[in-house]
Amino acid sequence: MKIYTGSGDRGKTSLLSGERVSKADLRVEAYGDVDELNSILGGVVAALPPTEAELAKEIQKIQSVLLHIGACLAVTPGSPVSEELEEITKEHSKALEGAIDRIDGSLPPLKEFILPGGHISAAWAHLARAVCRRAERHVVNLSAIQTGTVGSEQLRHVIVYLNRLSDYLFVLARLCNKIQGLSDTMWKR
Protein backbone atom coordinates (compact mmCIF):
# COMPACT_ATOMS: atom_id res chain seq x y z
CA MET A 1 0.00 0.00 0.00
CA LYS A 2 1.39 3.35 -1.02
CA ILE A 3 1.28 6.11 1.58
CA TYR A 4 1.59 8.96 -0.88
CA THR A 5 -1.05 10.02 -3.40
CA GLY A 6 0.46 13.22 -4.79
CA SER A 7 -2.90 15.01 -4.62
CA GLY A 8 -1.44 17.49 -2.13
CA ASP A 9 1.64 18.35 -4.17
CA ARG A 10 0.19 21.71 -5.15
CA GLY A 11 -0.27 22.93 -1.59
CA LYS A 12 -3.88 21.96 -1.07
CA THR A 13 -5.48 19.36 1.16
CA SER A 14 -8.98 18.00 1.78
CA LEU A 15 -10.87 18.71 4.97
CA LEU A 16 -13.00 15.91 6.44
CA SER A 17 -16.01 17.99 5.43
CA GLY A 18 -14.93 17.83 1.80
CA GLU A 19 -13.53 21.30 1.12
CA ARG A 20 -10.21 21.62 -0.69
CA VAL A 21 -8.20 24.22 1.21
CA SER A 22 -4.68 25.62 1.32
CA LYS A 23 -2.30 23.71 3.59
CA ALA A 24 -1.67 27.10 5.22
CA ASP A 25 -5.37 27.40 6.17
CA LEU A 26 -5.91 28.24 9.83
CA ARG A 27 -7.92 25.06 10.29
CA VAL A 28 -5.05 22.97 8.91
CA GLU A 29 -2.59 24.83 11.16
CA ALA A 30 -4.77 23.98 14.15
CA TYR A 31 -5.21 20.26 13.50
CA GLY A 32 -1.56 20.07 12.43
CA ASP A 33 -0.57 21.34 15.89
CA VAL A 34 -2.84 18.77 17.50
CA ASP A 35 -1.21 16.05 15.39
CA GLU A 36 2.25 17.30 16.44
CA LEU A 37 1.18 17.31 20.07
CA ASN A 38 -0.18 13.78 19.76
CA SER A 39 3.08 12.59 18.24
CA ILE A 40 5.11 14.11 21.07
CA LEU A 41 2.85 12.39 23.60
CA GLY A 42 3.86 9.17 21.85
CA GLY A 43 7.42 10.14 22.77
CA VAL A 44 6.45 10.61 26.41
CA VAL A 45 4.82 7.17 26.53
CA ALA A 46 7.80 5.56 24.81
CA ALA A 47 10.17 7.07 27.39
CA LEU A 48 8.20 5.88 30.44
CA PRO A 49 9.56 2.90 32.37
CA PRO A 50 7.56 -0.35 32.03
CA THR A 51 6.38 0.03 35.62
CA GLU A 52 4.24 3.02 34.59
CA ALA A 53 1.67 1.12 32.53
CA GLU A 54 -1.27 2.92 34.16
CA LEU A 55 0.20 6.34 33.39
CA ALA A 56 0.91 5.24 29.83
CA LYS A 57 -2.74 4.19 29.52
CA GLU A 58 -3.88 7.58 30.80
CA ILE A 59 -1.73 9.39 28.22
CA GLN A 60 -2.92 7.11 25.42
CA LYS A 61 -6.49 7.94 26.34
CA ILE A 62 -5.57 11.61 25.88
CA GLN A 63 -4.03 10.74 22.51
CA SER A 64 -7.34 9.21 21.51
CA VAL A 65 -9.23 12.37 22.53
CA LEU A 66 -6.72 14.40 20.48
CA LEU A 67 -7.62 12.35 17.40
CA HIS A 68 -11.26 13.28 17.96
CA ILE A 69 -10.24 16.92 18.38
CA GLY A 70 -8.22 16.76 15.15
CA ALA A 71 -11.29 15.43 13.31
CA CYS A 72 -13.46 18.14 14.85
CA LEU A 73 -11.01 20.83 13.67
CA ALA A 74 -10.92 19.33 10.16
CA VAL A 75 -14.64 19.97 9.65
CA THR A 76 -16.15 23.33 8.71
CA PRO A 77 -19.07 24.53 10.85
CA GLY A 78 -22.48 23.39 9.71
CA SER A 79 -21.17 20.47 7.68
CA PRO A 80 -23.25 17.31 8.04
CA VAL A 81 -19.96 15.54 8.81
CA SER A 82 -19.87 17.27 12.21
CA GLU A 83 -22.96 15.24 13.16
CA GLU A 84 -20.94 12.08 12.62
CA LEU A 85 -18.06 12.93 14.95
CA GLU A 86 -17.56 12.29 18.64
CA GLU A 87 -18.29 15.47 20.56
CA ILE A 88 -15.77 17.04 22.89
CA THR A 89 -17.59 17.91 26.11
CA LYS A 90 -16.76 19.37 29.50
CA GLU A 91 -16.54 15.80 30.78
CA HIS A 92 -13.29 15.41 28.83
CA SER A 93 -11.82 18.47 30.61
CA LYS A 94 -13.16 17.30 33.96
CA ALA A 95 -11.31 14.00 33.56
CA LEU A 96 -8.11 15.99 33.05
CA GLU A 97 -8.78 18.09 36.13
CA GLY A 98 -9.06 14.91 38.19
CA ALA A 99 -5.74 13.69 36.84
CA ILE A 100 -4.05 17.08 37.46
CA ASP A 101 -5.22 17.11 41.09
CA ARG A 102 -4.03 13.51 41.59
CA ILE A 103 -0.56 14.16 40.14
CA ASP A 104 -0.12 17.59 41.74
CA GLY A 105 -0.97 16.13 45.13
CA SER A 106 1.91 13.70 44.80
CA LEU A 107 4.51 16.38 43.96
CA PRO A 108 6.41 18.75 46.23
CA PRO A 109 4.99 22.31 46.13
CA LEU A 110 6.60 24.59 43.57
CA LYS A 111 7.75 28.07 44.57
CA GLU A 112 10.03 28.97 41.64
CA PHE A 113 10.00 28.67 37.88
CA ILE A 114 11.60 25.47 36.65
CA LEU A 115 13.67 24.80 33.55
CA PRO A 116 11.99 22.44 31.11
CA GLY A 117 14.00 19.23 31.04
CA GLY A 118 15.39 16.56 33.31
CA HIS A 119 14.65 13.00 32.26
CA ILE A 120 13.90 12.50 28.56
CA SER A 121 10.25 11.66 29.36
CA ALA A 122 9.92 14.97 31.25
CA ALA A 123 11.59 16.86 28.41
CA TRP A 124 9.05 15.36 25.96
CA ALA A 125 6.19 16.33 28.28
CA HIS A 126 7.45 19.94 28.44
CA LEU A 127 7.71 20.06 24.65
CA ALA A 128 4.17 18.66 24.43
CA ARG A 129 3.00 21.42 26.78
CA ALA A 130 4.50 24.13 24.58
CA VAL A 131 2.97 22.64 21.41
CA CYS A 132 -0.35 22.27 23.22
CA ARG A 133 -0.26 26.03 23.94
CA ARG A 134 0.39 26.70 20.25
CA ALA A 135 -2.52 24.45 19.28
CA GLU A 136 -4.67 26.35 21.75
CA ARG A 137 -3.62 29.70 20.21
CA HIS A 138 -4.53 28.49 16.72
CA VAL A 139 -7.90 27.16 17.88
CA VAL A 140 -8.58 30.51 19.59
CA ASN A 141 -7.82 32.22 16.25
CA LEU A 142 -10.15 29.83 14.51
CA SER A 143 -12.92 30.41 17.00
CA ALA A 144 -12.53 34.19 16.55
CA ILE A 145 -13.51 33.90 12.89
CA GLN A 146 -16.47 31.63 13.49
CA THR A 147 -18.06 33.29 16.52
CA GLY A 148 -21.79 32.75 16.67
CA THR A 149 -21.76 30.14 13.94
CA VAL A 150 -22.66 26.48 14.19
CA GLY A 151 -19.83 24.58 15.82
CA SER A 152 -18.49 27.47 17.91
CA GLU A 153 -19.61 25.76 21.12
CA GLN A 154 -17.63 22.69 20.10
CA LEU A 155 -14.54 24.88 19.61
CA ARG A 156 -15.11 26.41 23.04
CA HIS A 157 -14.94 22.94 24.59
CA VAL A 158 -11.78 22.20 22.57
CA ILE A 159 -10.15 25.40 23.86
CA VAL A 160 -11.00 24.49 27.47
CA TYR A 161 -9.63 20.99 26.91
CA LEU A 162 -6.34 22.23 25.44
CA ASN A 163 -5.97 24.79 28.22
CA ARG A 164 -6.46 22.07 30.81
CA LEU A 165 -4.20 19.68 28.91
CA SER A 166 -1.32 22.18 29.06
CA ASP A 167 -1.65 22.22 32.84
CA TYR A 168 -1.78 18.42 32.88
CA LEU A 169 1.39 18.25 30.79
CA PHE A 170 3.19 20.57 33.21
CA VAL A 171 2.46 18.35 36.21
CA LEU A 172 3.12 15.28 34.06
CA ALA A 173 6.61 16.59 33.25
CA ARG A 174 7.32 17.01 36.95
CA LEU A 175 5.91 13.54 37.66
CA CYS A 176 8.17 12.05 34.98
CA ASN A 177 11.21 13.46 36.76
CA LYS A 178 9.93 12.22 40.11
CA ILE A 179 9.42 8.71 38.70
CA GLN A 180 13.09 8.72 37.67
CA GLY A 181 14.21 10.01 41.07
CA LEU A 182 15.19 13.40 39.61
CA SER A 183 14.41 16.85 40.99
CA ASP A 184 13.21 19.67 38.78
CA THR A 185 15.92 22.20 37.93
CA MET A 186 14.99 25.60 39.39
CA TRP A 187 15.46 28.77 37.38
CA LYS A 188 18.44 30.72 38.67
CA ARG A 189 17.92 34.33 37.60
DSSP per-residue string spanning 61-75: HHHHHHHHHHHHHTS
Please name the amino acid found at residue 38: N
Among 26, 81, 95, 179, binds other proteins (CB under 8 A): 81
78 lies in the binding site for other proteins (CB under 8 A): no
Output 85 or 140, the one with its CB closest to other proteins: 85
Query: In the set 26, 47, 56, 85, which binds other proteins (CB under 8 A)?
Result: 85
**Which helix (H) or strand (E) segment is 159 a member of?**
helix 152-179
For residue 91, state whether it binds other proteins (rule: CB under 8 A). Answer: no
Which residue in 50, 80, 148, 181 binds other proteins (CB under 8 A)? Answer: 80
Minimal distance in Å, beta carbon 69 to other proteins? 15
Task: Select from 10-18, 39-47, 104-112, 155-163 the region that touches other proteins (CB under 8 A).
Answer: 10-18
Separation between Cα atoms, residue 120 and residue 46, nearest integer Å: 10
We find the least distance from the C-beta atom of residue 96 to other proteins, in angstroms, to be 22
| C-alpha span between 174 and 115 (Å, rounded) | 11
- Binding to other proteins (CB under 8 A) within 124-163 occurs at none
Residues 32 and 66: their CA atoms lie apart, in Å, by 11
Coil, strand or helix at 114: strand
